[in-house]
Amino acid sequence: MKTRAVRLYGKKDLRLEEFNLPPIKDNEILAKVVSDSLCMSSYKASSQGTDHKRIPDDVSENPIIVGHEFAGELIEIGAKWQHKFKAGEKFSIQPALNYKDGPVGILSAPGYSYPYIGGNATYVIIPNEVMEQDCLLPFHGKGYYPASLAEPLSCVIGTMHANYHRTPGSYVFKMGIIDGGNMAILAGVGPMGLAAINYVLHREDRRPSLLVVTDIDQTRLDRAASLYTVEFAASRGIDLRYINTSTMKDANKELRDITNGKGYDDVFVFAPVRQVVEQGDSILGFDGCLNFFAGPNDPNFKAELNFYNVHYAYTHIVGTSGGNNEDMLQALEMMSKGLDPAGLITHIGGLNAVANATNNLPKIPGGKKLIYNHITMPLTPITEFAKLGETKEVFKKLAEICDNNKGLWSVEAETYLLENSDKLH
C-alpha cells in the first residue's frame, strides 16, 4: 500500500513524500486518514527536532509522520483485533499512549514518534500498542472533522479535570473545577481557548457561575463573543464576560473587582507569556487553582508566583499536556450528541499545505487549520472562499454553504469538498 505523508527528518525539516507501507502484522490495523487539524504542538516538534521529548533520536535516518489530531476509516484489520474492530468503521486516535515500550518510551505518541502512523498521511498502520492502550476510538457522529477536533477538546476536558481544591483542615483533594465558582480563561480566544469556552458552556456536570475570558486582540474577542454568546451562556446559568485587558489601567485589580474582591477559583492560562502567568496568579482567590495550559517552547520559561498566598491562601498551580482516554471518550460523545467544534476552524487545506503551514503556524492568524489529506489545496481562509468563488465554482459553493452556517465550516461543507475536490484546479 502506498501512502503520501509529511515526515520529519530534523529541525524544520518536513517533507511531503510518497512511500510504501509494509504489510500489516496480525496485531496491526491499516487505516485511511481523512482529516487532521494542525496543532501548535506539531510546530514545537518540528522546531525542536530531536530535542523534543517525544521525537526519536534517529529521525534523520528513520523519519516520523507528523500530525496527531486525526480521523478516518479503518481499512484492514489484523487477526488479533477482528473481534473488536471492523473495516469501514470511523475512528479517532488518543495520541497520548503512556506506553513504556514505545519508540521513545512512555512519551511515545502517534504524530511524534512513529514511522507509519501520524495524522498527516493518506494511509497509516496503527500499531498494536494503540489498541492495547484502548487509544483507537470509534466515532459514531457525522463527518470527520469533529473526530479530528476531539483530541484538542480532550486536552481541554483533561485540563478542567486536573484542577483541584481542598477544604481547610482536610488533606483530601477534590478534583475538578468549583461548581458555581469564578473562572477565568486568560489569553482565551485562540483555538484552544475557544475549545475551552465551548466545553464549559456545554458540559452538564460542573459549570462556573462567572466565566471571564480575556485577550488583547479585540477582533478575536468579538469573534469569540459571536460564536459563544453571552446570551447562550446566561441560559446555562453562566455570567460570561469577554474582556480586552489591554484597555485596562490596572487589569489585575479590575479583574478581581469583577468578583467583588473574592478572586477566582479556577484560572486557566492559554499563552506561554510570563505576564499572563503572573496575572493569573495575582487574581486567584482563596484555594484558587492556576492551570498553566500553554506549553512553552523555551525549556527555561519562568514566571514569578506569590508564595505568601501559597502559604496563607492555599493557592496552587497545576499543568496539563493532553488528555487521557476518558477525556477523549467524553469529547467524542459530546461531538456525537451535537457539540460542534466548527467555531475553532478558520482555514482549510490539503496535504500539500502541511509542511509550510506547520513550520509557520504561529505566524498564520486565525484558529484551527483543518487538513484533508486526500486533496491538493493551498491553506485557505474560509473568509476568502467567496472571492475565490468568482473564478472557481467549488469555492463559490463552499462560500454559500459556510455563509448559511454563520460563516463556519460544517459537515455539509466537508462532504461537498471531498466529493468535488478534483474540481479545485
User: What's the confidence (pLDDT) of residue 424?
Assistant: 81
2-149+341-352 and 152-319 in the same fold: no
Q: Which residues contact 253 (CB under 8 A, 6 or more apart)?
A: none
Task: Give the pairing of strands 2-10 and 239-244.
Answer: unpaired
The phi, psi pair for 418, rounded to 5°, reads -65, -35
Measured between alpha carbons, how far is residue 172 from residues 160, 167, 267 in Å? 18, 8, 21
What pLDDT is stored for residue 361 in this prediction? 95
Q: How high is the pLDDT of residue 169?
A: 84
Rounded Cα distance between 282 and 303, Å, is 12
What would the pLDDT profile of 146-184 be if each residue is shown by its tens digit?
A: 999 998 899 999 999 999 999 888 888 999 999 999 999
Average pLDDT in the chain: 94
Specify whether the CB–CB gap between 243 and 213 falls below 8 A: yes
Amino acid identity for residue 354 in this structure: V
pLDDT beneath 50, residues of the chain: none
Q: What proportions of the chain, in percent to the nearest 5, are helix, strand and coil?
A: 35, 25, 40
Q: In Å, what is the CA distance from 6 to each residue of 123, 181, 288, 362?
A: 12, 44, 43, 19
State the pairing for strand pair 2-10/90-93. Answer: unpaired
Print the SS3 string covering 41-92. Answer: HHHHHHHHHHHCCCCCCCCCCCCEECCCCEEEEEEEECHHHCCCCCCCCEEE
Is 152-319 CATH 3.40.50.720?
yes
In tens, the pLDDT along 371-408 reads 999 999 999 999 999 999 999 999 999 999 999 998 99
Segments making up each domain of the chain, as ranges = 2-149+341-352, 152-319
CA distance linking residue 416 with residue 425, whole number of Å: 15
Q: Which three cell numbers stand for residue 241?
A: 464576560
CATH dotted code for 2-149+341-352: 3.90.180.10
- Cell numbers standing for residue 298: 523555551
- The answer to whether 352 touches 374, Cβ cutoff 8 Å, is no
φ, ψ dihedrals at 285, nearest 5°: -95, -170
Lookup: cell for 402: 459556510
Q: How many CB atoms lie within 10 A of CB 390?
A: 9
DSSP 25: P
Q: What is the pLDDT of residue 8?
A: 98
